[in-house]
Structure 1
Amino acid sequence: MDACILEEKPAIGVTLVNGREFMTNSKGDLVAASNVKPEDKLQDEMVRKMIGFAADLSAQITRFRDHSMADIAAFDDLLAQEYGAKVGGKKGNKTYQTFDGLMKVQVQVANLIDFGPQLQIAKSLIDECLNEWSTDSRPEIQTIVTRAFNTDKEGQINKSELFMLLRLDIDDPRWARAMDAIRDSIRVTGSKEYLRFYRRPSIEAQWTAITIDLARA
C-alpha cells in the first residue's frame, strides 16, 4: 500500500506555496513565514481571532435585533386586532413590561435631521451680530456659535450646540431672524428605531440598563 503524505492545514493568515508557508504583507507581497518576526505573527493571530469573534457577535446582535423587532411587531398587530388601535405614543415611542414590573423593553424613535440652505443665512446674520458686539461681551455665545457651526469628522453640523443657540434669549432683530432661519432650515429626513432594555431587582429599585453597546459595557 502506497504511503500517504498528510499536509497539515496552514494557520489562518498563512498561505502554502509548494509546501512552504508564506504571509501576505500590507503591500500585497508574499513573505516567507520564517522571515516574519514572532511578535508580528502573534499580533496577526491575535487580531484575526478577535475580528472573528467580533464579526460573529455583530451578526448575532443583528439577528437579535431583527427577531426582537419582529416579536414586537407581531405583538402590536395582535393588540391592533384586539382593540382597533395602533400601539405607540405621539412620536412612536413604546414601552413593554413584564407582569411583575421588573423588566421592560423600550422602543425609542429618533428623527434623522438635516439642515437646508437657510442655515447659511443664519450663520451670516449671527456673524454680523458677533462682529458688532464688543469682543469682551458675551464670550460664551461666541464659543457656542463656534462649536455649533464647526463640522465633525463626518462633516455634520453639531446639532446639540445649534439647538442651544435657539434657547438663548437675545434682544437683537438680526439674531431673531437668524433663529427663524435655523428653525426653517431643519428638515426631518427619516427616523430610526432604537431598542432599550432595562431590569430592576424590586419595584422600589431604580431601573438598570442592560448594556449591549460595546463602548459602554
Structure 2
Amino acid sequence: MANQDATHPGYWKDARGNLIPESNVKDVDKLRDELVREQIGKAKKLSEEIARFKGCAMGDIEAFIKLSADKYDAKVGGKKGNVTMFSYDGQYKVIRQVAEHMTFDERLQAAKALIDECLREWTEDGRDEVKTIINDAFQVDQEGKINVGRILGLRRLEITDPRWLKAMQAISDSLQVVGSKPYVRFYERQADDSYTPIPLDIASI
C-alpha cells in the first residue's frame, strides 16, 4: 500500500508528518516506499506465523508433560521449569526454558548503605580492587536498571565483616521475581554428536 494520506488524496506524508504533493515525490522514493512496505508486510505475516508456532509448541510440550506425569499418577502444577526432550534416536532435542525476570525491592538500599560503611573503612586498607567490583555492581544501565547478576555476584566474595554479611542477607531478602518468559528451542545432532540449534531468528540464518 502506497504512503498516501487517506484524508488528503494526492498527498504523501513524510517522516516529519508533512503532506507532500504526490507530484513532488521522486520516483525512486516511491519505489523505495513500495519495497519497504512490501517487505514489512511479509515480515509481519512471518512474525505472526512464528508466534502461532511458538504457542502451539509450548501447548504441545505442556500437554505431553502432563501426559507423562499421569503415567505415574503425579500432578504437575504450573508451567514453571526447564524441560529437555529427545527424539527416540537422539537426532533431535527440544528444550523448554522459563526465564524468570528478577529485581530488587527497597531492601537493596539498606544493603548498599551497609556496604558503603565497609568501603569507607576499607579506604584506609587500600582494597581498591574490591571497591571497584562493588561500585561496578551497583552501576545502572542505559534504562536505569541494575544488573541482577552483578549484584548477586557480590555474595561470592569471601568477606567476613558482620556488616558485609548482613548486607548480603539484605540482598537475598530483597530479590523479587516479577515475571517470567517461556522459551522453546530446537536442536539437531551433528556428526560429532554435538547439538546445533535450528535457527528461528532471521538475523542468525
Structure 2 length normalisation: TM-score? 0.83
Q: Which residue of 1 aligns with 2:74?
A: 85
| Structure 1 segments unaligned to the other structure (5+ residues) | 1-10
User: What are the equivalent positions in structure 2 for 1:98-117 lying under 5 Å apart?
Assistant: 98-117=87-106
Is the alpha carbon distance of 1:42 and 1:123 closer, same or farther for their aligned partners in structure 2, counting shifts above 3 Å?
A: farther
User: What are the equivalent positions in structure 2 for 1:1-217 lying under 5 Å apart?
Assistant: 11-15=1-5, 21-38=10-27, 40-86=29-75, 92-134=81-123, 137-202=126-191, 204-217=192-205
Is the alpha carbon distance of 1:129 and 1:93 closer, same or farther for their aligned partners in structure 2, counting shifts above 3 Å?
A: same
32-41 vs 111-120, which moves further = 32-41
Is the alpha carbon distance of 1:135 and 1:107 closer, same or farther for their aligned partners in structure 2, counting shifts above 3 Å?
A: farther
Is the alpha carbon distance of 1:130 and 1:14 closer, same or farther for their aligned partners in structure 2, counting shifts above 3 Å?
A: same
Identity over the aligned pairs, expressed in percent?
47
Could you say what the CA RMSD is over the residues aligned between the two structures, in angstroms? 2.7
Counterpart CA distance in 1 for 2:6 and 2:171 is 61
Alpha-carbon contact 2:105-2:174 (below 8 Å) kept: yes
Counterpart CA distance in 2 for 1:156 and 1:48 is 35
Deviation for aligned residue 1:79: 2.0
The one-character-per-residue Cα deviations of 1:1-26 (angstroms, maximum 9, x if unpaired) are xxxxxxxxxx52134789x7321123
Counterpart CA distance in 2 for 1:39 and 1:135 is 68
| Structure 2 segments unaligned to the other structure (5+ residues) | none
Counterpart CA distance in 2 for 1:78 and 1:67 is 16
Deviation for aligned residue 1:184: 0.9
Where 2:71 maps in the other structure, the secondary structure is helix
